Structure 1
């Protein structure tokens, strides 16, 4: 394979895993470890506060050579399986990476890695990010088991029969008529927020938007109909018949995962909406005959991460239990679990009003080290500074287009503070989950089990039924190993809820 050109320290070195690995995988070559130049360059540029600069191999080499830096190529359009050329007439493979350029850029990145504040942690981040890129390609190739017949049946149950002329299905058409009747009009389109807002205005009701939480506070006969319509319309447009016909082939849903696609390090997908599968649609995710789905979900991950990174011994002691919120309640909140949860989430997400005020006061009094950790991140953000995750992923600068003001004061600064407050926790949680995934991939090698899904703090393995217990043990081991790799000797536990099921919808 022409892109497999450099191997250093037992790692395949290439410009982009997403480009170079698929041809190897199709040819039956499984790569154990790699170094992804593009993903590493993005991390290093971010660390230097140069977020958003070109990160391709060509760009990295141009910076090293002191020549003009070319822009990154635009993202490829997402194509459902079967939309491209057939396997008999494969598209031309990408140009081979130049071995000399790869070696020079790899050496330069290694030097830059040694200069960061915590090089050991940052190297772990780079290794986990590159391992994640391998897993993303493999999961896209294997695909998530998907029963199109079950999917079509549940769509009929929810939406009614599809329209013969391509319009909304029967249930949506009926709801549209009832919503029009409730407003006393004839041609309102419920999927149009502008039309719905005008209808409420004519009824003497002023609303800021048509989001569900705004509608629930309104006493009007159209509200329950609109809420039902919104839920069903979302399923029809995002995971309806057209989606299933386009994205499901040979019993598998094969999305394209994008490691590090979110600024916090969480994954995204290109096409298919794999990370937003509604619970009701999960009924179509069914293991093959003789196989099982092992679904693992990390409970209370971000609060546990806060306990680990802050070094708050009292919070870490609470996080050594199975239910962190219950332990906090017993320790400091008079047994009130709900109050303990409000306090901890308020501290991490910047919820400082209403019921959170007394709860936060209790949290600050009993867990000052953890509270000060997120407060310091918020103050840094409000002042326009950069914060980093535990392993060194750096948040975008305040000039990045993240949806809040850049004025450095007032509402814009507070929004920036809420972002950086959570970034240090969410990005670290993403690192823990990615490390778990990398550990699990290695543990499952040669077992026949397949990683088929990963979403934030949830992972799914498709395996022969007689290996389900072995896979469950491997998942627990990987969670423990990820915690020790990131945080060393800590009292904090990272428990998983693990379900062995035939259908994804039956998981805990």
Structure 2
């Protein structure tokens, strides 16, 4: 059973009980194919204030429904605040983005239809209600669900390949990720504000008066000024800093740290240290602490699918760029622990599973896949394996990466061939897709018009040569993007399935209390790393759940693969102690 939630515009919500023709195993990321049929069995008008009670009642039933709504980010936070948790949902906005752009649905009328209100709308939760009703009243969620299911069914019928059958799993996993994101924002990361202040004071000096630099930052600036022989310098202005550096005779073209490191001058070391301290102050200093940490919790805003590869982005708080310098402030509550898990060499393992490269899969059975490559004789050292694989997946052709690529190609021809094929597709302007079916955007027009306006034949020929050279450069750049897209995007899909499976296991460990924070729960996620905040007495069981969920995620995506998806797990009181 699925329940479509539609705001009615009068402080009420219409719940449509619908039946979707499909077979399902009840998995939190199940995406079984169907024939696109959506039947409305019943409709009920519910006062908005009563919706949390209705949700709790239906979730407690033997067969909890899948909730279908326009935007999880708009609906779910208020339900969580009222103590209502849901097990499954279908996020129409996120699913629409995937289906409108996937190569697997390109032949459907759904993908080719002109842009409409559903493409523009993004509901936002309001402080005193469940929905920002204005942009949603005119949108027919039942019709949109029908259209999405029909597009998915048509893709499976027309294509018939295993790839089209996997697309439903991607839609279910993306929707599950939206639930995880909302729950992590609601639960928050346990944060010791006093410890954060102590860390800042130790590194930067005591908290300064507004408008002034901390003492240690000011002292570092004094070193820079002395080394440059100037009395007045604002290093926070790139233009002024560059001018002063050149006046002092430094052969630099920018103020970027990597370029400064190449220069031998007394001002460079203190300047680099100043830039590092300044970044900490700007990104995670006292202003950040006052803004984002309340009542012992850091609550960032996650954006599932915020990057074209499917990776998450952050819409506030900078959660995906949390520096090691402040991780000591992330502390479990008394009687609780942090279980921090990191997927080992995730992208190479995903590449091995996608490509079906048996030799690389055997290397992936080792706890450290790079060491597995060394043991197999593919390369001589772990460092060579690491840099070689990074070069293969990201397009590195120089240095150690370029030197190792031929050896890796001989050892793992199917894996390296997969990313090489993706790169060639990108260079030719074609799209590529992840394992589950998320498709890359097409490159912008790379050719440039030249020779207009009555230019001479010689000038026109020169301009056309430049345009072709520029197009070749752009093509290579896009090829590097598509090379990595297929791997990074598929790794993001594995992570979604990992979190969705783990989310269900954690809830069961908490005794199905119905609330998110009563038991062990996901508190933080960063690409291939998760943090669970758990009562200490459950930490061992949580560790087992984390590991088993990683294995299950691999099975969901790749079936009976020889690749083992290993995770390193640490149970700590402070995040900084996890690594």
* TM-score, normalisation: structure 2: 0.79
For the 8 Å contact 1:4–1:14, the answer to whether it is kept is no
Work out which of the residue numbers 534, 547, 564 in structure 2 matches 1:476. Answer: 547
**Rounded Cα–Cα distance in structure 2 between residues aligned with 1:444 and 1:400:** 47
Structure-2 residue corresponding to 1:5: 15
**Rounded Cα–Cα distance in structure 2 between residues aligned with 1:469 and 1:99:** 49
Deviation at 1:210, TM superposition (A): 2.2
Structure-2 residue corresponding to 1:274: 319
Question: SS of the counterpart of 2:522?
Answer: strand
**Rounded Cα–Cα distance in structure 2 between residues aligned with 1:407 and 1:398:** 16
Superposed, 1:424-435 pairs within 5 Å as: 424-435=486-497
For the 8 Å contact 2:379–2:385, the answer to whether it is kept is no
Superposed, 1:278-289 pairs within 5 Å as: 278-289=323-334
Question: SS of the counterpart of 1:388?
Answer: coil
Deviation at 1:224, TM superposition (A): 1.1
Relative to 1, partners in 2 of residues 1:473 and 1:406: Cα closer, same or farther, differing over 3 Å?
farther
For the 8 Å contact 2:124–2:131, the answer to whether it is kept is no
2:69 counterpart of 1:14: yes
Relative to 1, partners in 2 of residues 1:37 and 1:3: Cα closer, same or farther, differing over 3 Å?
farther
For the 8 Å contact 2:117–2:139, the answer to whether it is kept is no
Superposed, 1:237-256 pairs within 5 Å as: 237-256=282-301
Relative to 1, partners in 2 of residues 1:398 and 1:406: Cα closer, same or farther, differing over 3 Å?
farther
Deviation at 1:400, TM superposition (A): 8.8
Deviation at 1:68, TM superposition (A): 5.7
For the 8 Å contact 2:427–2:475, the answer to whether it is kept is yes
For the 8 Å contact 2:379–2:407, the answer to whether it is kept is no
**Rounded Cα–Cα distance in structure 1 between residues aligned with 2:531 and 2:198:** 24
2:120 counterpart of 1:94: no
Structure 1 stretches lacking a partner, 5+ long: 52-59, 78-83
Deviation at 1:437, TM superposition (A): 0.2
2:445 counterpart of 1:445: no
Structure-1 residue corresponding to 2:142: 103
**Rounded Cα–Cα distance in structure 1 between residues aligned with 2:347 and 2:468:** 27
For the 8 Å contact 1:383–1:408, the answer to whether it is kept is no
**Rounded Cα–Cα distance in structure 2 between residues aligned with 1:74 and 1:188:** 45
Work out which of the residue numbers 47, 51, 72 in structure 1 matches 2:120. Answer: 72
2:79 counterpart of 1:24: yes
Question: SS of the counterpart of 1:499?
Answer: strand
Structure-2 residue corresponding to 1:399: 444
For the 8 Å contact 1:144–1:452, the answer to whether it is kept is yes
Question: SS of the counterpart of 1:453?
Answer: strand
Structure-1 residue corresponding to 2:570: 499
Structure-2 residue corresponding to 1:157: 202
Relative to 1, partners in 2 of residues 1:427 and 1:190: Cα closer, same or farther, differing over 3 Å?
same
Bigger Rg, structure 1 or 2: 2
Question: SS of the counterpart of 2:206?
Answer: coil
Deviation at 1:164, TM superposition (A): 1.9
Work out which of the residue numbers 353, 359, 364 in structure 2 matches 1:314. Answer: 359
**Rounded Cα–Cα distance in structure 2 between residues aligned with 1:353 and 1:493:** 30
2:413 counterpart of 1:368: yes
Relative to 1, partners in 2 of residues 1:375 and 1:187: Cα closer, same or farther, differing over 3 Å?
same
1:146-200 deviation digits (Å, cap 9, x = unpaired): 0111111111001001222432111111111211111111221122222222222
Deviation at 1:385, TM superposition (A): 0.6
Relative to 1, partners in 2 of residues 1:407 and 1:147: Cα closer, same or farther, differing over 3 Å?
farther
Deviation at 1:347, TM superposition (A): 0.7
For the 8 Å contact 1:4–1:20, the answer to whether it is kept is no
For the 8 Å contact 2:251–2:263, the answer to whether it is kept is no
Superposed, 1:207-226 pairs within 5 Å as: 207-226=252-271
Deviation at 1:233, TM superposition (A): 0.6
Relative to 1, partners in 2 of residues 1:282 and 1:105: Cα closer, same or farther, differing over 3 Å?
same
Superposed, 1:303-342 pairs within 5 Å as: 303-333=348-378, 335-342=380-387
Deviation at 1:115, TM superposition (A): 2.9
**Rounded Cα–Cα distance in structure 2 between residues aligned with 1:71 and 1:334:** 48
Structure-1 residue corresponding to 2:276: 231
Deviation at 1:50, TM superposition (A): 11
Deviation at 1:6, TM superposition (A): 3.6
**Rounded Cα–Cα distance in structure 2 between residues aligned with 1:408 and 1:190:** 35
**Rounded Cα–Cα distance in structure 1 between residues aligned with 2:408 and 2:546:** 32
**Rounded Cα–Cα distance in structure 1 between residues aligned with 2:92 and 2:267:** 54
**Rounded Cα–Cα distance in structure 1 between residues aligned with 2:222 and 2:105:** 53
Superposed, 1:124-143 pairs within 5 Å as: 124-143=169-188
**Rounded Cα–Cα distance in structure 1 between residues aligned with 2:291 and 2:273:** 26
**Rounded Cα–Cα distance in structure 1 between residues aligned with 2:14 and 2:551:** 33
Relative to 1, partners in 2 of residues 1:358 and 1:176: Cα closer, same or farther, differing over 3 Å?
closer
Mean alpha-carbon deviation: is it higher for 304-313 or for 91-100?
91-100
Work out which of the residue numbers 229, 236, 254 in structure 2 matches 1:184. Answer: 229
Structure 2 stretches lacking a partner, 5+ long: 1-10, 21-64, 447-466, 511-518
Question: SS of the counterpart of 2:434?
Answer: coil
1:202-239 deviation digits (Å, cap 9, x = unpaired): 23322233222222221111111111111111111111
Deviation at 1:242, TM superposition (A): 1.1
Question: SS of the counterpart of 2:342?
Answer: strand
For the 8 Å contact 1:314–1:367, the answer to whether it is kept is yes
1:249-288 deviation digits (Å, cap 9, x = unpaired): 1100111111001111111111111111110101100000
1:48-82 deviation digits (Å, cap 9, x = unpaired): 5999xxxxxxxx89x97x896576257979xxxxx
Structure-1 residue corresponding to 2:42: none
**Rounded Cα–Cα distance in structure 1 between residues aligned with 2:72 and 2:210:** 43
**Rounded Cα–Cα distance in structure 2 between residues aligned with 1:275 and 1:70:** 28
Superposed, 1:403-418 pairs within 5 Å as: 409-418=471-480
For the 8 Å contact 1:395–1:423, the answer to whether it is kept is yes
**Residues matched between the structures, number:** 485
RMSD between superposed Cα atoms in Å = 2.6
For the 8 Å contact 2:70–2:123, the answer to whether it is kept is no
